[in-house]
C-alpha cells in the first residue's frame, strides 16, 4: 500500500514537473518574442530615412507655427503615403546660396549615423531678390551639390525664378542656373519651388512673398511626387 502511494506520488510529481516545464518553456518563448519586439521597434525608427531640407525662409517656415512649415507638412504628407521619413529643417530665413554653402558641413555632421540620406536644396531666391551675380549663385550651388554627392546624399534641386524687374539678361542667366546644375550633377530637378503659389494672394502671407499654411500645403502637394522619386533613388 505504501509502495503504491509512493509510486502515485512520483507520477503526480513527474506530471506536475512536466507541466511546469511546458509553462516555463512557453513563458520563455513569450519573453524572447517581447525582447525581440523591443529591440526591433527602436531599430526601425533608427533606420528611418533622414531628409534634409536645405534652404531659406521658404524652408524654415517664416511667419508660420512650426507645425505649418514646409518640413512639418512634408513629413506628414510622406507619413500619409506610408513612408517613415524624418524631414530635417535646414532652412534659415534670409539665407543666400553662399550662406547655405557655408553651413552645409555643419548640417552634414561628423558622424555617418547623423548624416542625411537625401536632401532638398532650395536656395537662390534671396540671391535674386538682392540682384547678386548669378555666376556666384551657380558656384555656390555647384559646391553644395558636389559636397552632398561626395557624402553619398541623394539630391532634389528645387529651382527658383528671378523677379522680372531685374532685366531680361539677368532673368535669363539666373533662371538657367538650375537646369544647368541638375544636368551637370545628374540630380533630380523640381523647376520652381513656388509653382502656383507665387503671386497668389490667397496662398501667401500679408507680405506677399512668404506662403501661408495653405500655400505651403500647395507646395507640398505639388513637390511630393518629386520627393517620392528622390526617396526611391536613395539607398
Is 117 labeled as catalytic in the residue annotation? no
Distance between CA atoms of residues 194 and 161, nearest Å: 9
Is 196 labeled as catalytic in the residue annotation? no
CA angle 58/63/66 to nearest 5° reads 80
Set of cell numbers at residue 18: 512536466
Choosing from 154, 162, 210, 212, the catalytic residue is: 210
CA angle 204/166/99 to nearest 5° reads 70
Choosing from 47, 80, 110, 207, the catalytic residue is: 207
Choosing from 57, 154, 162, 212, the catalytic residue is: 57
DSSP string covering 130-164, please?
Answer: TT--HHHHHHHHHHHHHHHHHTT-EEEEEP----G
Is 185 labeled as catalytic in the residue annotation? no
The catalytic residue positions are: 57, 207, 210
Amino acid at each position: 500500500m505504501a509502495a503504491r502511494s509512493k509510486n502515485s506520488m512520483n507520477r503526480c510529481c513527474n506530471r506536475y514537473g512536466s507541466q511546469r516545464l511546458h509553462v516555463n518553456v512557453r513563458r520563455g518563448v513569450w519573453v524572447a518574442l517581447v525582447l525581440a519586439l523591443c529591440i526591433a521597434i527602436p531599430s526601425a525608427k533608427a533606420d528611418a530615412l533622414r531628409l534634409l531640407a536645405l534652404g531659406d525662409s521658404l524652408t524654415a517656415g517664416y511667419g508660420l507655427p512650426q507645425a505649418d512649415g514646409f518640413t512639418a507638412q512634408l513629413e506628414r504628407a510622406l507619413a500619409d503615403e506610408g513612408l517613415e521619413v524624418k524631414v530635417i529643417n535646414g532652412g534659415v530665413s534670409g539665407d543666400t546660396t553662399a550662406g547655405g554653402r557655408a553651413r552645409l558641413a555643419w548640417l552634414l555632421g561628423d558622424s555617418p549615423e547623423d548624416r542625411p540620406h537625401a536632401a532638398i536644396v532650395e536656395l537662390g531666391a534671396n540671391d535674386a531678390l538682392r540682384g547678386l551675380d548669378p555666376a556666384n549663385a551657380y558656384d555656390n550651388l555647384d559646391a553644395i551639390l558636389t559636397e552632398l554627392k561626395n557624402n553619398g546624399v541623394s539630391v532634389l534641386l528645387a529651382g527658383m525664378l528671378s523677379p522680372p524687374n531685374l532685366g531680361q539678361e539677368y532673368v535669363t542667366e539666373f533662371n538657367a542656373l538650375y537646369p544647368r546644375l541638375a544636368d551637370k550633377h545628374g540630380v533630380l530637378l523640381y523647376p520652381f519651388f513656388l509653382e502656383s503659389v507665387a503671386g497668389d494672394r490667397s496662398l501667401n502671407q500679408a507680405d506677399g512673398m512668404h506662403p501661408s499654411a495653405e500655400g505651403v500645403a500647395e507646395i507640398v502637394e505639388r513637390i511630393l511626387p518629386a520627393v517620392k522619386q528622390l526617396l526611391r533613388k536613395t539607398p
